[in-house]
Structure 1
Amino acid sequence: MKMLILTAAIVLGWTAIYSNRHAKTESDIQPEYREVNVNAVPATIKAALETAYSGTKLVKAYVNEKKEYKLELSVNNQKATVYTDANGNW
Protein backbone atom coordinates (compact mmCIF):
# COMPACT_ATOMS: atom_id res chain seq x y z
CA MET A 1 0.00 0.00 0.00
CA LYS A 2 2.86 2.37 0.82
CA MET A 3 4.43 1.58 -2.53
CA LEU A 4 1.18 2.43 -4.34
CA ILE A 5 0.92 5.82 -2.60
CA LEU A 6 4.59 6.59 -3.27
CA THR A 7 4.22 5.67 -6.96
CA ALA A 8 1.12 7.85 -7.31
CA ALA A 9 2.93 10.79 -5.68
CA ILE A 10 5.89 10.43 -8.05
CA VAL A 11 3.66 10.21 -11.12
CA LEU A 12 1.65 13.27 -10.05
CA GLY A 13 4.85 15.18 -9.33
CA TRP A 14 6.31 14.43 -12.75
CA THR A 15 3.02 15.34 -14.41
CA ALA A 16 2.98 18.71 -12.67
CA ILE A 17 6.59 19.44 -13.62
CA TYR A 18 6.06 18.40 -17.24
CA SER A 19 2.88 20.46 -17.67
CA ASN A 20 4.55 23.62 -16.32
CA ARG A 21 7.52 23.26 -18.66
CA HIS A 22 5.26 23.18 -21.70
CA ALA A 23 2.67 25.75 -20.66
CA LYS A 24 2.07 28.50 -23.18
CA THR A 25 2.63 32.05 -22.13
CA GLU A 26 0.24 34.87 -22.96
CA SER A 27 2.60 36.13 -25.66
CA ASP A 28 2.49 32.70 -27.33
CA ILE A 29 -1.30 32.78 -27.43
CA GLN A 30 -1.97 36.40 -28.42
CA PRO A 31 -0.15 37.89 -31.36
CA GLU A 32 1.75 41.12 -30.83
CA TYR A 33 -0.23 44.21 -31.74
CA ARG A 34 1.27 47.61 -32.46
CA GLU A 35 -0.67 50.83 -32.14
CA VAL A 36 -1.66 52.62 -35.34
CA ASN A 37 -3.35 55.93 -35.99
CA VAL A 38 -7.15 55.71 -35.92
CA ASN A 39 -7.19 57.30 -39.39
CA ALA A 40 -5.10 54.38 -40.71
CA VAL A 41 -7.92 51.89 -40.04
CA PRO A 42 -9.34 50.70 -43.40
CA ALA A 43 -12.71 52.07 -44.52
CA THR A 44 -14.18 48.54 -44.63
CA ILE A 45 -13.53 48.16 -40.91
CA LYS A 46 -14.96 51.59 -40.14
CA ALA A 47 -18.11 50.76 -42.14
CA ALA A 48 -18.48 47.40 -40.38
CA LEU A 49 -17.96 49.13 -37.04
CA GLU A 50 -20.70 51.67 -37.79
CA THR A 51 -23.06 48.91 -38.92
CA ALA A 52 -22.45 46.61 -35.96
CA TYR A 53 -21.93 49.21 -33.24
CA SER A 54 -23.57 52.45 -34.35
CA GLY A 55 -22.87 55.44 -32.16
CA THR A 56 -19.49 54.21 -30.96
CA LYS A 57 -16.27 56.19 -31.00
CA LEU A 58 -13.03 54.54 -32.10
CA VAL A 59 -10.52 55.50 -29.41
CA LYS A 60 -7.43 53.42 -30.28
CA ALA A 61 -6.47 50.93 -32.96
CA TYR A 62 -3.81 48.22 -33.04
CA VAL A 63 -2.73 45.88 -35.83
CA ASN A 64 -0.63 42.70 -35.92
CA GLU A 65 1.43 41.01 -38.66
CA LYS A 66 -1.63 39.18 -40.00
CA LYS A 67 -3.50 42.47 -40.49
CA GLU A 68 -5.88 41.65 -37.65
CA TYR A 69 -7.09 44.68 -35.78
CA LYS A 70 -7.73 45.26 -32.10
CA LEU A 71 -10.04 48.23 -31.67
CA GLU A 72 -10.74 50.07 -28.43
CA LEU A 73 -14.17 51.68 -28.51
CA SER A 74 -16.05 54.12 -26.33
CA VAL A 75 -19.81 53.69 -25.97
CA ASN A 76 -21.73 55.96 -23.59
CA ASN A 77 -18.62 56.48 -21.44
CA GLN A 78 -17.96 52.73 -21.32
CA LYS A 79 -14.96 51.13 -22.96
CA ALA A 80 -15.00 47.98 -25.06
CA THR A 81 -12.45 46.07 -27.12
CA VAL A 82 -13.27 44.23 -30.35
CA TYR A 83 -11.16 42.24 -32.77
CA THR A 84 -11.54 42.15 -36.56
CA ASP A 85 -9.68 41.25 -39.72
CA ALA A 86 -8.90 43.68 -42.55
CA ASN A 87 -12.28 42.92 -44.18
CA GLY A 88 -14.32 43.88 -41.12
CA ASN A 89 -15.15 40.31 -40.05
CA TRP A 90 -15.50 40.14 -36.26
Structure 2
Amino acid sequence: MGYGMMGGFGGGLGGGVGWIGWIFQIVILVAVIYLVIYAVRSFSGNTKHRSSSSDEAQEILAQRFARGDISAEDYKSMKDQLKN
Protein backbone atom coordinates (compact mmCIF):
# COMPACT_ATOMS: atom_id res chain seq x y z
CA MET A 1 0.00 0.00 0.00
CA GLY A 2 2.91 2.28 0.25
CA TYR A 3 4.30 4.71 2.75
CA GLY A 4 3.43 4.33 6.47
CA MET A 5 0.32 2.94 8.08
CA MET A 6 -2.07 5.25 6.25
CA GLY A 7 -0.33 5.15 2.91
CA GLY A 8 1.50 8.42 3.57
CA PHE A 9 -1.64 10.51 3.35
CA GLY A 10 -1.90 11.64 6.97
CA GLY A 11 -5.09 10.63 8.70
CA GLY A 12 -3.98 11.24 12.28
CA LEU A 13 -5.39 13.95 14.54
CA GLY A 14 -4.14 16.63 12.15
CA GLY A 15 -6.34 15.29 9.40
CA GLY A 16 -3.51 15.48 6.89
CA VAL A 17 -3.16 19.27 7.06
CA GLY A 18 -0.23 19.38 9.46
CA TRP A 19 0.10 22.19 12.00
CA ILE A 20 -3.05 23.94 10.84
CA GLY A 21 -5.10 20.92 11.89
CA TRP A 22 -3.46 20.82 15.32
CA ILE A 23 -4.02 24.54 15.86
CA PHE A 24 -7.64 24.25 14.77
CA GLN A 25 -8.23 21.37 17.17
CA ILE A 26 -6.66 23.29 20.06
CA VAL A 27 -8.88 26.29 19.29
CA ILE A 28 -11.95 24.04 19.26
CA LEU A 29 -10.90 22.42 22.56
CA VAL A 30 -10.37 25.81 24.23
CA ALA A 31 -13.76 27.00 22.95
CA VAL A 32 -15.51 23.92 24.34
CA ILE A 33 -13.81 24.34 27.73
CA TYR A 34 -14.78 28.04 27.79
CA LEU A 35 -18.41 27.20 26.98
CA VAL A 36 -18.55 24.58 29.75
CA ILE A 37 -17.14 27.05 32.29
CA TYR A 38 -19.57 29.75 31.10
CA ALA A 39 -22.53 27.36 31.39
CA VAL A 40 -21.55 26.26 34.90
CA ARG A 41 -21.18 29.86 36.06
CA SER A 42 -24.47 30.99 34.54
CA PHE A 43 -26.42 28.09 36.08
CA SER A 44 -24.80 28.45 39.51
CA GLY A 45 -25.83 32.11 39.83
CA ASN A 46 -23.89 35.30 40.08
CA THR A 47 -22.64 36.20 43.57
CA LYS A 48 -21.92 39.80 42.55
CA HIS A 49 -25.57 40.30 41.74
CA ARG A 50 -26.60 38.97 45.15
CA SER A 51 -24.38 41.39 47.05
CA SER A 52 -25.70 44.37 45.08
CA SER A 53 -29.28 43.25 45.84
CA SER A 54 -28.38 43.06 49.51
CA ASP A 55 -26.81 46.54 49.36
CA GLU A 56 -29.92 47.90 47.69
CA ALA A 57 -32.15 46.31 50.34
CA GLN A 58 -30.04 47.85 53.11
CA GLU A 59 -30.32 51.27 51.46
CA ILE A 60 -34.10 50.98 51.27
CA LEU A 61 -34.19 49.87 54.91
CA ALA A 62 -32.07 52.85 55.97
CA GLN A 63 -34.36 55.22 54.05
CA ARG A 64 -37.45 53.75 55.71
CA PHE A 65 -35.82 54.19 59.12
CA ALA A 66 -34.79 57.76 58.30
CA ARG A 67 -38.37 58.62 57.26
CA GLY A 68 -39.67 57.15 60.51
CA ASP A 69 -41.60 54.34 58.80
CA ILE A 70 -40.05 51.71 61.10
CA SER A 71 -38.82 51.74 64.70
CA ALA A 72 -35.20 51.35 65.79
CA GLU A 73 -35.94 47.79 66.95
CA ASP A 74 -37.46 46.86 63.59
CA TYR A 75 -34.55 48.48 61.76
CA LYS A 76 -31.96 46.55 63.78
CA SER A 77 -33.86 43.27 63.40
CA MET A 78 -34.31 43.66 59.63
CA LYS A 79 -30.70 44.75 59.16
CA ASP A 80 -29.49 41.63 61.01
CA GLN A 81 -31.73 39.47 58.82
CA LEU A 82 -30.30 41.03 55.65
CA LYS A 83 -26.75 40.29 56.77
CA ASN A 84 -27.59 36.59 57.15
Normalised by the length of structure 1, the TM-score is 0.35
Query: Which gives a bigger RCO, structure 1 or 2 (Cα 8 Å, sep 6+)?
Result: 1
Greater helix content: 2
Greater strand content: 1
